[in-house]
Amino acid sequence: MTTTSNEIKSLVEEMISCHENNDFDRLKTLMDICTLEDPDTFLTKEKFEEVCGQIHGQLGTFQNVVYIGQLSKKDSIHTLWKAQYSNTEEETLWTARINLDKQNPKIIRMSVN
């Protein structure tokens, strides 16, 4: 990874924690400025609250996350993580596209499946 594995894992764990705690304001501090300033951004408070509700309702409480790999791009890395939640035996896939800024890595996009 471009930055240390611990830095990236901490960033992703914090991203998941924001969803767990429905903390939109904290999540915004983890996001790349290009995402926040995009007028067509996927990151709105309403969408965030909807996703948090779905996660809590379908998956339960977050238990743990494990790094499973990455795809390298010109200006970012796409990291892949498997997470475990309390209400399911199935693994959940989180992805986080992270900029390559070594001084201040930020999330560009994220998804949960």
List, in order of start, the domains of the chain with CATH numbers: 5-112 (3.10.450.50)
Whole-number Å distance between alpha carbons of 96 and 66: 13
pTM, two decimal places: 0.86
Q: Which tens digit of pLDDT belongs to each residue from 9-38? A: 899 999 999 999 999 999 999 999 988 899
> 3-class SS at 53?
helix
CA 9 centroid distance within chain: 10
Whether 108 contacts 35, CB under 8 Å = yes
Q: Can you list the residues of the chain whose pLDDT is less than 50?
A: 1-3
Q: Give the DSSP letter of residue 103.
A: S
pLDDT at 4: 57
